[in-house]
Chains A and B, each alone.
Chain A
């Protein structure tokens, strides 16, 4: 299995631009999670889905952040408009049973 796939791996954008991060979970996994990692805050859970349905988005920092999961094999995290404080590494993870696997992350830099 290819594992969790994320794209792009790196994204540099200017403040105010829209950013879309993409994730393909491991086939057959029924949970999908979006995390953000920074030095200051560590690993923060933003939102998670179960069987493509958003369950808890209480970690989404602001209305500028939105996430969708149109089908079992694809999810997006969108930031519109982006701000410099959104700079971080964003991880997608998928889970089946008790084991959760992370993607390689997208390093986002907003200038």
Chain B
């Protein structure tokens, strides 16, 4: 079946550092989505990407839809404590959205 490989699985960074995480797939997707999940809450949509090559920002977050349509990355600039959480990538093809297993972000004081 379709698989999304999300990396890294977890990250430990210092407050103020930039963060980069990515997703790759063997399948082409029409849309890439990035979510963040806080403890005890549902995933919240951060950014949606619709076209190959598209680069979209949402505050300190920037995400890009890969040219091949098989990958996407998410960057967070100047991390702050509230960025802690699990970040999921998701690819949309046909009706279904396939989720990666998440990147757990830890921020060290």
Shortest distance from the beta carbon of B97 to any chain A beta carbon, whole Å? 6
Cα distance A68–B99 in the bound complex, in angstroms:
23
Evaluate whether A31 and B45 lie within 8 angstroms (CB atoms) in the complex, with A42-B101, A43-B88, A99-B33 already known.
no
The range of chain A's interface size is: 20 to 34
Evaluate whether A98 and B31 lie within 8 angstroms (CB atoms) in the complex, with A50-B95, A56-B95 already known.
yes
Q: Which of B18-26, B36-44, B55-63, B73-81 contacts A (4 or more CB under 8 A)?
A: B36-44
Shortest distance from the beta carbon of A109 to any chain B beta carbon, whole Å? 14
CB-CB under 8 A from A99, the residues of chain B are 33, 45, 48
Give residues 25-54 of A contacting B (CB, 8 Å). 31, 33, 42-43, 45, 48, 50
Q: Mark A46-82, 1 if CB is under 8 A from B, else 0.
A: 0010100001100000000000000000000000000
Shortest distance from the beta carbon of A51 to any chain B beta carbon, whole Å? 12
Cα distance A50–B50 in the bound complex, in angstroms:
21
Cα distance A99–B90 in the bound complex, in angstroms:
11
